[in-house]
Amino acid sequence: MQVAQIIVDVPTRQTNNPYSYLIPENLEEQIQPGMRVQVPFGRRRVTGFVIGLSDKTSFDGKLKKISSLVDLSPVITPELLKLSEWMADKTFSFKISCLQTMLPGGMRTKFKKKLLATDQIRDTYPAIFHGQNEIDYDRQKFNNKTIAEILALRKSNQIKVHYELSSHAKPILSRAYKSKLNQQQIDHVLIDVQKRAVGQRRLLKMLYEQPSQTFLQSKLLHEGVGRQVLDTAVKQGWVTETQVRRIRNPFLQPVSRSYPLDLNEDQQTAVNRINNAIGKQTDTTFLLEGVTGSGKTEVYLQAMAHALSIGKTALMLVPEITLTPQIVGRIRSRFGDQVAMLHSAMSSGERYDEWQRINSGQAKVVVGVRSAIFAPLKNIGLIIMDEEHDSSYKQSDTPRYQTRDVAKWRAVYNHCPVVLGSATPSLESRARAMKGVYQLIMLPHRFNNHALPHVSIVDMKDEMAHNRHILSKRLSNLITDRLEKHEQIILLLNRRGYSSFIMCRDCGYVPQCPNCDISLTMHKDTHTLNCHLCGHKEPIPTVCPKCHSKRIRHYGIGSQQLEEQVKDLFPTARVLRMDVDTTRKKGSHEAIINKFGAHKADILLGTQMIAKGLDFPEVTLVGVLNADSALQFPDFRSSERTFQLLTQVSGRSGRADKQGEVVIQTFNPDHYAIQLAKTQDYEKFYHTEMRIRHLGKYPPYYFTIKITGSSPSEKQTAYEMHQIAGFLRRYLTNKAIVLGPTPKTITRVNNRYFYQIIIKYRQEPKLKAALDDVLVKSQTKQQGGLLISIDNEPLDFM
Ligand SMILES: Nc1ncnc2c1ncn2[C@@H]1O[C@H](COP(=O)(O)OP(=O)(O)OP(=O)(O)O)[C@@H](O)[C@H]1O
Ligand SMILES: [Zn+2]
Ligand SMILES: [Zn+2]
């Protein structure tokens, strides 16, 4: 008898290793690693992932049996199974969490399975299909013998399995028609149809040419066969009406085909080096450092094309906010229907359909955000991470993985290169390139040698003395100038660390969240004060609860207010706003960008969303309204973030023939991150920042670990965290630096108190063992609700 090793869906330390279950006899041939099953666990029934199979002989004692199958074919590839093991280890998380993370959202929760059969199979297996082409698998009570039969059919591809989300993602069915006549009969009918009945003749011709084809109604209508004609055709018995499942199409608009462009010398060198590695199947990591507008995208496209040309697939990742229709359009125009897209703004049904196209090998190019790194793509020839420095590549919840590391793991597995691309590489990556761990490829000039934009800095301290408007004199003069010249403008409101709150002008009172140590943010659209951490909401007060003054006002500025002010100042300008509020609806992000791209607006204003990736030739002015709001963060990476953001957004200006200009408004005009963004001198920034990191013993000179502990009692959190810090100091070498515990910047969230410990180290062979020990102890003791989490290479120390 065979035994399956199963990781059960019970996320605890004790259940982190596989359990063995007997495979029911009928299913022995069918169960494969990567499928999900239901198993008895204690008194419950839980889902689990089969990760391996073995012979019973090595087991004594009584094993429980697998109760039922969840999947009829593997949903996790052998590669991803292996990856999950590595990832659990690397991110200090449970294997089950890693496996779950790899599945597209919809499949993690509720879904139904449909079996789809051809007419022939339907009739051969009446006990399964009862004369239908499509049945609900879960509704039927099949015995194991029938299930084995179904699995065999599925394995030999004689039937198809389709997952359907039971709740929101219903399949889309389209009306369609199929000929009931053979060609001879059609000939016959045609004799009787009058010449004037153009529609009928057209339909019959189409049926004649493809008698076994199922025609979508939409296609027929498009071809000039009207509804009336179709009704007649059904009545006359020429066709039958049916429904077909339509694959959801996440690409809203068709794109026209594009062809490889002639590369300039730098681009050609880059492509040659990457293609060479693709051909040789080496797992080299390249850092493609190219200034904004240098043409990195074309390099990606041609390297991907090379991977496809030798029969491989390609995976390209982009940050959440740059997965703009623009970049997807460029990729799709080159590779057509081979492209699958994975993005969080897609419905779970769409994501499932795309995932399915990838899993089945139909899609050969995948473009997506962070989670797309788990696409079940086989035979990968190239992995690209655009804007590799972007913080969205690090997952902030468990499993806290860094996409870059996963990409490198998959590259090793697939023997393919990774390309990390950026105008402002992360210090980590650039430092690795300097050490020769990565290969550095530079694109130092803009395409066609267009000049980088001219950047000026406005000191808002001076400005405030005579102008209390959010737009400085210089910026508004330039806006007027551009409007006159009929050129376009982008205005960025930096929202990181910036919120719009209300304050009493008489006593200084600021409303706070009752559950968290943070002030409430004003939401004009819902007329509420909201807590961004726990979701608490309350009405906006009209009198100060503390001193009863009526002068309780709104401070700070949101993009909505900015829009109003800009419209006030420039009443004739056509203004578009892009932020979370205006992009909530599906397709709205795309609509705004298309509108701006078609020059149906003069000013595009918004938050970080507009900072990256956009390529519009008519944009010749970029204004940054509050450059330094991120600088005030107590975080060692805040200078790097600020520099990157300013360089990126400046890079939107003057990308074509016209010289671009940038105005940066700031209260810290002398800060090096701002000064160096002015000259867009990455090289100097890199060296300056590296010196600071060296002095402060920060990454990339040191590796870091953040341990966060929380409980409902502050005293207890502090006590337990002191114990842990003490243990680490005793256990690790004296070269490791253990900082804390300290309360986190926002100590109380949802009435739990958060403390943290930071470990900095260069080489610490016993670190892994120590941290595992911390986790095991915290779980077994449960310590009255103390929850511990470990973040390997955290993005911040806050
Ligand atoms: N070989 C080429 N021939 C013609 N045009 C090109 C070529 N390479 C790039 N371009 C054009 O140059 C512009 C900038 O290229 P692209 O958008 O790829 O830059 P990028 O390096 O990705 O910049 P950013 O980092 O700012 O997004 C685009 O309009 C692109 O079409
Ligand atoms: Zn007051
Ligand atoms: Zn709160």
Report the separation in Å between the CA atom of 554 and the middle of ligand 2, taken as the mean of its atom positions. 13
Tell me the CATH number at 231: 1.10.10
Residue 654's SS3 state is coil
Any idea which ligand is nearest the CA of 509? 2
Which of 135, 164, 193 terminates a domain? The answer is: 164
Q: Give the tokens for residue 511.
A: 């409303």
- Around ion ligand 3, residues with a beta carbon closer than 5 Å are 513, 515-516, 531, 533-534, 536
What amino acid is encoded at 555 in this protein? Y
CA separation for the pair 709, 716 (Å, rounded): 10
* Same domain as 723, residue 580: no
CB 294 less than 6 A from any atom of ligand 1: yes
Atom of ligand 1 nearest to the CA of 267: 1
CA of 636 to the centre of ligand 3 (A): 25
Rg of the chain over CA atoms, in angstroms? 30
- Is position 184 within any domain? yes
Q: Is 751 left (phi over 0), alpha (psi -120 to 50) or beta?
A: left
| Distance between CA atoms of residues 237 and 797, nearest Å | 73
Ligand nearest to the backbone CA of 289: 1
Rounded (10°) CA dihedral 338, 343, 348, 350: -30
Residues 160 and 184 in one domain: no
pLDDT of residue 109: 57
The CA 586 to ligand 1 mean position distance, Å, reads: 28
pLDDT along the chain (798 residues), means of 10: 89 82 85 91 87 78 84 90 96 93 74 76 83 76 79 81 54 78 86 84 88 83 86 89 68 70 95 98 97 94 97 93 72 91 79 88 94 96 96 91 97 98 96 97 91 91 80 94 95 68 79 82 78 82 90 75 89 89 76 90 88 84 84 78 91 88 90 92 96 93 94 91 95 93 86 92 94 82 75 88
Give DSSP secondary structure letters for 88-115. Answer: HHHHT--HHHHHHHHS-HHHHS--EEEE
Q: Is the CB of 654 under 6 A from ligand 1?
A: no
Please check whether residues 182 and 306 belong to one and the same domain: no
Q: What is the reported pLDDT for 193? A: 83
**Residue 522 belongs to some domain of the structure:** no
CA of 745 to the centre of ligand 2 (A): 26
Collapsing DSSP to helix, strand or coil, 71 comes out as: coil
pLDDT of residue 580: 72
Our answer on whether the CB atom of 648 is closer than 6 Å to any ligand 1 atom is: no
In a domain, 545, yes or no: no
Within-domain flag for 194? yes
On whether the CB atoms of residues 318 and 371 are closer than 8 A, the answer is no
Cis, bond preceding 700 (omega within 30 deg of 0): yes
Pocket mutation for ligand 1, best pick of 447, 449, 655 (most atoms within 8 Å of C-beta): 447
Q: Whose CA is nearest to atom 11 of ligand 1?
A: 295
Q: Which atom of ligand 1 is nearest to the CA of 423?
A: 25
Does residue 417 line the site of ligand 1, with CB under 6 A?
Answer: no
Cβ neighbours, 10 Å, residue 102: 23
Which ligand 1 atom is the nearest neighbour of the CA of 652? Answer: 26
User: Is there a single domain that holds both residue 489 and residue 575?
Assistant: yes
CATH number at residue 457: 3.40.50.300
What ipTM describes this predicted complex? 0.95
Atom of ligand 1 nearest to the CA of 330: 31
Give me the pLDDT at residue 167, please. Answer: 41
| CB-facing half-sphere around the CA of 261: CA atoms within 13 A | 15
Do 242 and 196 share a structural domain?
A: yes
* Residues written for the chain: 798
Same domain, 677 and 763: no
293 lines ligand 1 (CB under 6 A): yes
Q: What is the pLDDT of residue 781?
A: 58
Whether residue 144 is contained in a domain is answered as: yes
Please tell me whether residues 225 and 290 are part of one structural domain.
no
Neighbours of 134 (CB within 10 A): 15
Q: Which residues of 435-451 are buried (b: 16+ CB within 10 A; e: fewer)?
A: eeebbebebebbbeebe
The Å distance, Cα 555 to ligand 3 centre, comes to 19
Residues 418 and 284 in one domain: yes
End-to-end CA distance of the chain: 53
Residue 641 inside a domain? The answer is yes
Same domain, 275 and 336: yes
Cβ-based neighbours of 568, under 8 Å, separated by 6 or more: none
Domain for residue 696, yes or no?
Answer: no
63 CA distance to ligand 3 centroid (A)? 47
Same domain, yes or no: 459 and 409: no
CA gap 367, 267 in Å, rounded: 21
Quick check: CB of 682 below 6 Å from ligand 1? no
- Quick check: is 527 in a domain? no
CA of 322, closest atom in ligand 1: 27
Q: How far is CA 662 from the centre of its chain?
A: 30
The annotated binding site for Zn(2+) is made up of 504, 507, 513, 516, 531, 534, 544, 547
Nearest to 629 by CA among 496, 459, 795: 496
Query: How confident is the model at residue 169, as a pLDDT?
Result: 44
SS3 state at 729: helix
| Nearest ligand for residue 301 CA | 1
Q: What is the DSSP letter of 444?
A: -
Domain total in the chain: 5
What is the Cα 184 distance to its own chain's centre?
A: 54
- C-alpha 655 – ligand 1 centre gap (Å): 9
Q: Which of 420, 447, 474 is the last residue of a domain?
A: 447
DSSP 786: -
623 lines ligand 1 (CB under 6 A): no
The pLDDT of residue 76 is 94
Cis omega (within 30 of 0) for bond into 399? yes
Which residue do the tokens 């087991």 mark? 59
Atom of ligand 1 nearest to the CA of 294: 21
CA 525 from centre of chain: 27
Ligand 1 centroid–CA 457 distance in Å is: 27
Alpha helices in 586-680 (DSSP H): 588-597, 638-650, 672-679
- What is the number of the ligand closest to the CA of 533? 3
- Nearest protein Cα to ligand 1, atom 14: 293
Sheet holding 365-368, edge to edge: 339-342, 365-368, 313-317, 380-386, 418-422, 285-290, 439-443
Whether residues 629 and 729 share a domain: the answer is no
Question: Could you tell me the residue range of the domain that residue 618 belongs to?
Answer: 450-497+557-684
Are residues 178 and 160 part of one domain? no
Q: Which of 655, 684, 713 is the last residue of a domain?
A: 684
Looking up residue 97, the CATH number of its domain turns out to be 3.40.1440.60
Q: Which ligand is nearest to the CA of 271?
A: 1
